[in-house]
Chains A and B, each alone.
Chain A
């Protein structure tokens, strides 16, 4: 059920983001959503793409550090106003490492969550009536 997120290490150097998008273009990889976390000297780009395995391989071939990370994508039936329902549903002892928006399409708003113990969280969310994107 977990979604495969592509994570890429990016140095804060001119043109690196462009290089990355070029690789995607050449390999027909579609970006569905992304989030960029940054520190002073580097960033980590997290992406949901059409073909994560192929994207990772293509990036590795041109010497990017890229890896695949399991994340959960949850549909918010009531829109982003209902985010609290998700946090309420999660076990109290599990921290959300990070989250970002997957889709803003009306009626299909959804978010991506990085959290430990994914299987347990998925089970809990499904039990509480949420639907997950896979």
Chain B
């Protein structure tokens, strides 16, 4: 298996720490002098750039949150003059103002390099034809993946999202071997391939899927269905976009490109750093970013880290599968519930695909939990008895997983509200004020 940048991806831990320390010192110095927000924050914490001597001092630096990005909308956190910014991306901003990120030419080069590393991890190379089926536009997915594929030297087919039949037809006609899209879109594409009966005409080998979480079971299911290898790609626009981390052929965690992004795991409540293999909130510090470098950016994603070398030969730290988000954890009747637990429970029931919605409500003083599940054809039965059996089975499986009684409601396909192609997973109707 090829490695795109062996020098960086297979460094010894000592070399990596030294490189990270040198880069951290430089970036702290940069933001202190060029970003007013960070200068003030560091002064409030009583630290100066000279106090940071290496990654062991990371814990003394202030955190950055999404709210900080919004407060400094649009360009307040940029560390270079606007003349050096060559591209802007922005988040959808469903809960308020968009968050805006800017890239210099070198930042775009770094991004291309990282995506090329991801594609190489997935066994793709310059001879491959790769469809990018992320949305093109302000969202980092489309363009980020696109230029990475070009940098790799492969052929990119900029599909964007939408016409799935056309995507499948082109997949056949162009001999497409790689595909980058969200997990839920991949599942949909797999269904369309099945419906069209063209499974034996596709040459697809590997897919890179990110921008929304999925479970290991979903990943395996789709691999089996299409006879491919599906890889997790991770990224967030605040740090770069897709390509911050990616899983390799061993599928034992996503390798973080640590020479560019310094990861740490903290307890989301106390903000204390946590050890390897302990689940907490993932935090990133930019090490090379010019346009908008961030110190200790709180991703809200819950995962754990390991620094053990991987059997694939890479030595970079690996992220475990995401356990959820620290901000979408629900507390229902005092029990911590992550939507991902319910999703995993649903998937363990044969034939159930994960189109579901969790509705939390409060009747009097008691929280109630309802899970709506779209009845897709594959498990629809003409007998009420069978449907009732399915309802009970789902309810039981969820209760096993989270320890709470759950009311399950079967609903018609496509009735669960979607925004930007992502199903709205949780509706919390409780009033806390």
Contacts and interface: CB of A to CB of B under 8 A. Distances in A.
Interface of A: 5, 7, 9-11, 16, 37-39, 41-42, 44, 46, 60, 63-67, 69, 97-98, 114
A64 B382 contact: no
Contact of A65 (B377, B383, B384): B377
B220 interface: no
B327 interface: no
Contacts, number: 55
A65 B412 contact: yes
A11 B382 contact: no
B409 interface: yes
Contacts of A10: 412
Q: From DSSP, what is the main secondary structure of chain B's interface residues?
A: loop
Contact of B412 (A9, A98, A114): A9
Given A65-B376, A66-B377, A37 B384 contact: yes
A37 B388 CA distance: 12
Interface string B383-421: 110011000000000000000000001111111000000
A63 B413 contact: yes
Given A42-B387, A69-B382, A9 B375 contact: yes
A124 to B, nearest CB: 22
A11 B384 contact: no
Nearest to A10: B412
Interface in B2-33: none
B382 A63 contact: no
B387 A65 contact: no
A46 B382 contact: yes
A111 to B, nearest CB: 16
B380 interface: yes
B387 A44 contact: yes
A41 B412 CA distance: 11
B411 A67 contact: no
B411 A98 contact: no
B409 A65 contact: no
B380 to A, nearest CB: 4
Given A9-B412, A44-B384, A64-B412, 19 more contacts: A5-B382, A9-B375, A10-B412, A11-B410, A38-B384, A41-B409, A44-B382, A44-B383, A60-B377, A63-B412, A63-B413, A63-B414, A63-B415, A64-B413, A65-B376, A65-B380, A66-B377, A67-B377, A67-B381
Nearest to B388: A39
Contacts of B376: 65
10 contacts: A10-B412, A16-B412, A44-B383, A44-B387, A63-B413, A63-B415, A66-B377, A67-B377, A97-B383, A98-B383
Nearest to B379: A65
B382 A65 contact: no
B186 to A, nearest CB: 20
A114 B381 CA distance: 12
B197 to A, nearest CB: 15
Interface string B345-382: 00000000000000000000000000000011100111
Contacts of B375: 9, 42, 65
